[in-house]
Chains A and B, each alone.
Chain A
Amino acid sequence: MNIRSILIANRGEIAVRVIRAAKALGLRTVQVYSDADKDSLAVQLADEAVNIGPPAAAKSYLNIEAIIQAAQQANVDAVHPGYGFLSENADFADAVVAGGMVFIGPNGASIRLLGDKIAARAVASKAGVPTVPGSDGSVANVDAGREVVERIGYPVMIKAAAGGGGRGIRVASNLEEYERYFPQAYAEATSAFTDGSLYIEKMIESSRHVEVQILGDGENFVHCFERECSMQRRRQKVWEEAPAYCLPENVRQDLCNRAVALARQVKYKGAGTVEFLYDQKTQDFYFIEVNTRIQVEHTITEAITGIDLVQEMIRIAGGEKLSIKQEDLRVNGHAIECRINAEDPSKDFMPWPGLVDELTIPEGDGVRFDTMLYPGYSIPPFYDSLLGKLIVWGTDRSDCLSRLRAALQNFKISGVPTTIPLHIALANDADVSNGDFDTKFLEKWLVTKFVVADNKSEEVA
């Protein structure tokens, strides 16, 4: 492999995760940090650390110039972007390469292609991946779209081509709403993303979110099975599972094979995720988008396959051929990841940074906690609220759930409110235990079923 040193262009738990993978490969690690992160665990663990600016992400972790300069100064061979921040910014990938280094991920052209929702949909279609019924490409104006909505039926979603993560979406249940929302969506897309292009998709009313982990070296492509991430609040994933319990075996095979076909179509290089909606009633699945980065929930795929995805993506970027063959991959058991956020479940999930006094981390067979926390760490208010991820593996889903319940009981983070009480309640819920939930489940459940004691005193959190 022609990478001997890497710069981590990220922060938080994923920076720690990347440093661990790099160290396992014997690489020198250089961590960038903002003024707010000088005491971070990633800075302590890395071989070297470089300050890249003030706390505001726009002036540090999103500052391409500052990061490239830090990488060149530290004389690293490669840059790992983590997730979020610049991880899916094609200009950043290009700038890393122009600076004489390797970008750990697909090249700028692939990121650009797959990041454009309309282009990605066309690529998926071409590779034989089913897409949600809708407009083929962008819709020029409200009249052109009227034809589409009458063909596919209501409700429909009006989406911004440059959107993503749930942003820039409007739902219309009839023609009148469609005609009212289209101009609004256009204005919003123009101001939020500068690109006002819109497209239309049929809304699948009861769906589950399933996604396939792919790996490619540009010539060889494999899937590492799928994850289910239907448990969402405000379109943010809260709890993820692998494999997807809801899929019959024949559907799983088909879904995973189509994701590989898509990877082959674009000669994918690196680790990526192909996201789908799954309609449990009809057993149909539909392509949503490709994420060209490592994802937060990659850990559960690692738990059921034994692959270290972060090490694998570094090796691929370093010019190695994919070492894994599809026929060698098997699903072993079941894994669940709980996102532990610095949010107060008793106060509508208000984020709450602060000082972590004590930390009791669950241990045991199949239990893993990826985190940026240490006792005495002060969580800064400037970034997202993810503190860590509890990953629990079991021989099957029911074994996994009982280990998860035990792990959560032995889990204490004192000093700040966290989402641990939410996960305890979910792990003990009958519908969750039966695997009976869709993407709308959690928000309804929070209103009708969730009771949480005020966890101001975090002793019991």
Chain B
Amino acid sequence: MAIIEIKSPIPGTFYRKPSPENPVFKEDGADVVETDVIGLVEVMKTFHEIPAGVSGKSIRFIIEDSDPIMAGQVIAEVEG
């Protein structure tokens, strides 16, 4: 089973929740399909949804909520 990386297309701050009071978009271990939103990246006061872009099982987040992220950095891995 191959491991597929989900990368951030943009730099900024990564958030796993739509807002601080809400639950995370995806729990660790959840399955995802391409269109599922897995997080937000805040860059220069604007927020951008990050879709999984791939279908896979058992997502594992590499980046913590509220961590800085570079463009091209791996956010999470899924089993494809």
Contacts and interface: CB of A to CB of B under 8 A. Distances in A.
Interface of A: 55-56, 342, 350-354, 381-385
Contacts of B2: none
Contacts of B68: 55, 381
Contacts of B11: 352-354, 381
A385 B10 CA distance: 14
B44 interface: yes
Most buried by B among A342, A352, A354: A352
B22 interface: no
The CB with the most chain B CB atoms within 10 A, among A353, A381, A383, is that of: A381
A381 B13 contact: yes
10 pairs of A and B residues whose beta carbons are closest in the complex: A351-B44, A385-B44, A381-B12, A381-B43, A351-B43, A381-B11, A384-B45, A351-B46, A384-B44, A353-B11
Given A351-B46, A354-B11, A383-B45, 12 more contacts: A55-B68, A342-B44, A351-B44, A352-B11, A352-B43, A353-B44, A381-B12, A381-B13, A381-B43, A382-B13, A383-B44, A384-B44
A353 B45 contact: no
Contacts of A351: 43-46
A96 B12 CA distance: 32
12 contacts: A55-B68, A350-B10, A351-B45, A351-B46, A352-B10, A352-B43, A353-B11, A353-B12, A354-B11, A381-B12, A381-B42, A383-B44
Contacts of B12: 353, 381
Contacts, number: 32
Interface of B: 10-13, 42-46, 48, 68
A381 B46 CA distance: 10
A383 B43 CA distance: 8
B45 to A, nearest CB: 5
Contacts of B10: 350, 352
B11 to A, nearest CB: 5
Contacts of A382: 13, 44
A56 B12 CA distance: 11
Contacts of A354: 11
A304 to B, nearest CB: 31
Contacts of B43: 351-353, 381
A381 B48 CA distance: 13
A351 to B, nearest CB: 4
B42 to A, nearest CB: 8
Nearest to B11: A381
B62 to A, nearest CB: 19
Nearest to B45: A384
Contacts of A352: 10-11, 43
Contacts of A55: 68
Nearest to A84: B45
Contacts of A56: 13
A302 B44 CA distance: 28
A349 to B, nearest CB: 9
Contacts of A353: 11-12, 43-44
Nearest to B66: A56
A350 B9 CA distance: 11
A352 B46 CA distance: 11
Nearest to A379: B44
B17 to A, nearest CB: 15
A392 B12 CA distance: 33
A351 B44 CA distance: 6
A350 B41 CA distance: 12
Contacts of B48: 350
Nearest to A350: B10
B71 to A, nearest CB: 8
A351 B71 CA distance: 12
